[in-house]
Amino acid sequence: MLRIVHLADYPQHQQQVIDWQWQAFGSDNSRAFFASVVESSLRRDGLPITFIALLDDKPVGTVGLWRCDLISRQDLTPWLAALYVDESQRGNGLGLQLQQFVQDYSQQAGFSELYLYAEFSGYYERHGWQYIGDALDYPDRPVHLYHRRLG
């Protein structure tokens, strides 16, 4: 059975989430950065928050709700961030389920909109996100910005 839960309730999976985020989004020397973000999200209130998808108690994906995920656009908040699905579960709709979970959680928390960024295009537009322009990820990597109104 698939469940999406707070990582704070399953801290034994913290290292797996750090490894996924670092390998998917980081560079050689950025593991400590991802460890810091994940460690600061081990609570049930405030931002950032990290969620994990468990399939029969095995972690198979993760997603975050962060105050900011792009240094060059700190004026936008909050962000759906660090969406990752284990290779064994790709193509099964888990990415969409993780997105929907964060959208529902955000709306219940009183947020009226969400942002995210990606280096690629096509995927998020298919799932209702609106492309709102380009920006730079640190230090100079171009990315696409997306917005979603909730409710």
Give φ, ψ of 67 to 5 degrees. -65, -40
* 97: three-class secondary structure by DSSP: helix
Predicted local distance difference test score (pLDDT) of residue 131: 98
Predicted local distance difference test score (pLDDT) of residue 139: 82
Where exactly are the structural domains of the chain?
A: 2-68+77-116
- Closest C-alpha among 34, 38, 42, 40 to residue 10: 42
Predicted local distance difference test score (pLDDT) of residue 138: 84
Query: What tens digit of pLDDT does each residue of 88-99 get?
Result: 999 999 999 999
- Average pLDDT (16-32) is 94
Predicted local distance difference test score (pLDDT) of residue 140: 87
Query: What tens digit of pLDDT does each residue of 84-134 get?
Result: 999 999 999 999 999 999 999 999 999 999 999 999 999 999 999 999 999
CA distance 61 to 73: 26
Query: What tens digit of pLDDT does each residue of 41-66 get?
Result: 998 789 999 999 999 999 999 999 99
CATH 3.60.10.10 assigned to 2-68+77-116: no
Give me the chain's average pLDDT, please.
95
- Closest C-alpha among 6, 18, 12 to residue 50: 6
C-alpha 18: how far from chain center: 12
